Amino acid sequence: MNDLKFCKRCLYSTAHPLGLTLDDEGVCSGCRIHEEKDMLDWNDRWAKLKEIVKPYRSKDSNSYDCIVPVSGAQDSYFIVHMVKERLGLNPLLVTYNKYFNTPLGIKNLANLRIKLNCDILFQNLNPHIVRKITKTTLRQFGSMYWPILAGQTVFPVQTAVRYKVPLIIWGAHQGLEQVGMFSHEHEVEMSRRYRKDHDLMGYEADDLLSIFDTLSEEDIWQYRYPEDDKLNTIGVRGIYLGNYVRWDPKAQHEQMIKLYDYRTANFNRTFDSYDYVDCFNYMGLHDLLKLYKSGYSKVTDHASREIRHGRLSRDDALALVKHYEQQPVKYIEQFCDWLGITPRSLNFMMDQHRNEFFWTKVGPQEWVFNGGSVLQDKNTKNISSIAFDKDFLATDSLKYNLNNKYITIGKGWP
Amino acid sequence: MLKKRLIGMVVVKNGWAVQSFGYKKYLPLGKPECIVENLDRWGADEIIVISIDRSKDNLGPDFDLLQRLAKLGIDTPIVYGGGIRSVEEGVKVIQVCADRICFDALLHSNLNVVNELAASLGVQALIGVTPLSLNDEEVELFDYQAGTTKIIKSDELIKISNTVSELLVVDWRNEGQPDSFDFNLIDRLPSFNVPLILFGGISTVKQMQALFSNENISAVAVGNFLNYKEHAIQNFKERLTDMPLRTAKYENSIIEIS
Amino acid sequence: MSRITIGIVDYELGNHASLLHSLKKLNYRVLVSDEPSVLDQTDVLILPGVGAFPMAMKALKEKKLVSYLQQQAQINRPIIGICLGMQLLTEASYEGRYTKGLGLIPGETIELAEPLSHIGWNNIDRVNSDSILEGVEGKVFYFNHSFAYEGPSSYIKFTANHKKKITVIVRHGSVVGLQFHPEKSQAAGRELLNKLIIGMIDA
């Protein structure tokens, strides 16, 4: 950690949790791979994609061609649009109930499946085990999102096996987009290795079992990845659209707002109003945990992305980051109510995971932040002159009702 | 009959498993333990873990990494290389985790240490690593620390190879580039008394078929290319049907106990 | 039915994690120790080994395990020697300098010479029938050695072929030697270990 270095272009450092390398010019692997987006022949790559999906097109009209994992946010509209409208495939949508559902997310997901006329499967695991696992992972490795990440990444694979639909189509590969883990030309596919290493921070379902005696088989079996021989028998394969399409989330979401009335909302911890609108906690408590553990938060990901797309200067980006990452977190009580702990317990648990390298305790409940943004520049620039965040449109808000309660899937009204 | 081996190569830089290109460009992959565990699950015939920059920075072997790998308790043979400078260090690497060790710098700085390692561990535990390239039909050795190449004569190469049980020849220039291994390099090499393992730019079944058909070659190592698709090892093996390799296996944790 | 307990003889030469992992996966209880009082509580003893013969014998002597193992063999306790462990069971080895072994199996450990080393995965062939290892013919295991057993053929149960016939499994009463690494031979290795352990206990 002591030899932490920053990229000259974007705001990432070598302390990035996915890993990051810098070349001789001080430019990071993520920025270098991003350069490919303006060098590759995307028509050529689109043609490649058409060839890849060809054998999966069903000959009759009574089966699915592929599985598309979706949510009420995160490029889902764009992915389904590309799969159905551009590739002409017949997808089965699958979604995992994350519990922290905003009314906006529910509305977006319903709108998606209706406008695009798709079949959808919901996986809704019983709340008792989800809470139990969340408590364990929050306490032990500062993650309140493990069950969500585990569920979102495994349910599509289980469905592929159960329904015998081998092809899964994902959006962009997070490792490629953030840290240049792969070149677009490597055409990387979904792997159990990446899921365990990065999505699940090194812990698969069976690892939770062997490490924590609070959890048992009946708690975790739903999160278990299918065996290799099953995957092989069905021929399960997960491809990423981002390897064949020039990926630009801002442009894509704006296109989806126009085409299908995808709804967006403002967040107080980032300028990007297009993503994560389906969750009360991703840009809140979860984001704060990221700041505690990694010394930076989601707004840094958004800012680095926009720098690379040439829409934000590094200076302006850093100023925006410094402003947004310190904004207060909302919806804390809802989470505490749901999990069954007090805000004080929550604070205590979260504080255990502050990375000493980025946080110094100076008094009871008092910490000094020495994270990425501070290490780069101790000064703070005024962001009022930066018009950038006005570029992101908010067409709705996360909630309608006054008490901001998580929407219960399938409950109906009232 | 002794089978040929398809080896998974894991390059580690600053504690991170990386994709390595031509010994100079690196893209991050993740935790070495996750990559190693994955290769084990896929049934790689051996796993080589090389921690680069250890010799360059005079850090010795990465014992932290070795301890983390040992904890995995995997049942695939592991070879470790990176920073081994003495007999004590080589022996300790075996005691902590590895089944065999490999080294590059030591072959040129101190062959006596290599001979003593053979006496302590058995020559079968030692693999010599030589990054080679062709320059106008002359074989050149790449000195990673200095960043330079120099001609290496046949008798020198043979002398080095006689201190170990296998020689890992690396086509370092083509490392990481698909389908680019320089077959001319093998043609220019002398006859050795030990078998060869080849690495660098080997990504296709056609290349592997050609290499496995050579009686002087006991194994082929693949690095970057094993990280792009699920079941990468099995996919290669299934298409190498007429080669003397162990058959591909897909994990099923139901163990049949008769 | 109580669980079978395996005792790994620990003479501080090498890492036992893979062996432990394999045995636990097979649902055996495992104790790792250099103390006779602990090893006495086990059903089967495993003698692993990495490194060179003289160093290993020296370590066993220092731990006072030589006479212990010889006694255990006398009273027909099941003992499995793996790789160098198998070589240690023999009367002597020519590795380095001529060194006496445990002498639990008549025969000596001699240099392979040609080939220099036997490295990689090879299939094993039965040469003498033995009920404890049915069904493992043709299976493939991982070898990594430069010295091998030579001795009376009645003790040789399985051989492998690499430029010449190499002895890979020996047995003398309750003592069995495996030249390959079952704990590094993935599923095939685990299955063989399991068969062997059950076979030796039932014998």
**A289 and A366 fall within a common domain:** yes
Tokens 């969500």, residue? A148
Give the percent of chain A with pLDDT over 70. Answer: 97
- Report whether pLDDT(B256) > 90: no
**A150 and A283 fall within a common domain:** no
pLDDT tens by residue, A147-187: 999 999 999 999 999 999 999 999 999 999 999 999 999 99
Query: Measured between alpha carbons, how far is A14 from A6 in angstroms, rounded to an integer?
Result: 7
- In this prediction, residue A235 has a pLDDT band, given cuts at 50, 70 and 90, of very high
Residue C37 maps to which CATH number?
3.40.50.880
> Tell me, what's the pLDDT at C1?
47
Establish if B140 touches chain A: CB-CB under 8 angstroms: no
Chains C and A touch (3+ CB pairs under 8 A): no
pLDDT tens by residue, B47-97: 999 999 898 889 999 999 999 999 998 999 999 999 999 999 999 999 999
**A281 and A363 fall within a common domain:** yes
Of the residues B74, B120, B124, B243, the best mutation for testing chain C's interface (the one with the most C CB atoms within 10 Å of its CB) is B124
pLDDT tens by residue, A280-332: 999 999 999 999 999 999 999 999 999 999 999 999 999 999 999 999 999 99
Nearest CA in chain A to B234: A232
Contact (Cβ atoms closer than 8 angstroms) between residue B164 and residue B114: yes
Query: Measured between alpha carbons, how far is B9 from C200 in angstroms, rounded to an integer?
Result: 38
**A236 and A271 fall within a common domain:** no
Nearest CA in chain B to C26: B255
Chain B hits for C22, Cβ within 8 Å: 73, 75
- For chain B, domains (ranges, CATH) are 5-239 (3.20.20.70)
**A279 and A146 fall within a common domain:** no
Q: Per DSSP, what are the bridge partners of residue A382?
A: none
Residues B14, B17, B18: CA angle, nearest 5 degrees: 95
C108 catalytic, yes or no? Answer: no
- Assigned token pair, A409: 């899937």
- In this prediction, residue A142 has a pLDDT band, given cuts at 50, 70 and 90, of very high
**A63 and A200 fall within a common domain:** yes
Establish if C190 touches chain B: CB-CB under 8 angstroms: yes
- Assigned token pair, A228: 């290799």
Q: Is A300 part of any domain?
A: yes
Q: Is A8 part of any domain?
A: no
* Number of domains observed in the structure of chain C: 1
Cβ atoms within 10 Å of A249's Cβ, excluding its own: 21
C95 catalytic, yes or no? Answer: no
Query: Measured between alpha carbons, how far is A375 from A362 in angstroms, rounded to an integer?
Result: 18
Compute the nearest-CA separation of C175 from chain B (Å): 22
Which of B14, B25, B230 has its CB closest to that of A192? B230
**A72 and A215 fall within a common domain:** yes
Q: How far is CA B73 from CA A65, B36, C50, in A?
A: 40, 11, 16
Of residues C183, C68, C186, the one with CA closest to residue C197: C183
A318: containing domain: 267-391
- Report whether pLDDT(B257) > 50: no
C125: containing domain: 5-202
DSSP state at residue C65: -
Q: Is B1 exposed, middle or buried (0-12, 13-18, 19+ CB in 10 A)?
A: exposed
Chain B hits for C122, Cβ within 8 Å: 1-3
> Tell me, what's the pLDDT at A389?
65
* Number of domains observed in the structure of chain A: 2
- Contacts of C among chains (3+ CB pairs under 8 A): B
3-state DSSP call for residue A347? helix
- Assigned token pair, C161: 């072929």
Query: Measured between alpha carbons, how far is A62 from A64 in angstroms, rounded to an integer?
Result: 7
- Assigned token pair, B117: 């390692």
Q: Spell out where B73-216 has E strands.
A: 78-81, 100-103, 126-135, 138-143, 148-151, 166-171, 196-199
> Tell me, what's the pLDDT at C12?
80
C145 catalytic, yes or no? Answer: no
Query: Can you tell me the ipTM of this complex?
Result: 0.95
**Tens place of pLDDT per residue across chain C (203 aa):** 468 999 999 988 778 889 999 999 999 999 999 999 999 999 999 999 888 999 999 999 999 999 999 999 999 999 999 999 999 999 999 999 999 999 999 999 999 988 999 999 999 999 988 888 888 888 999 999 999 999 999 999 999 999 999 999 999 999 999 999 999 999 999 999 999 999 999 87
**A307 and A355 fall within a common domain:** yes
- In this prediction, residue B160 has a pLDDT band, given cuts at 50, 70 and 90, of very high
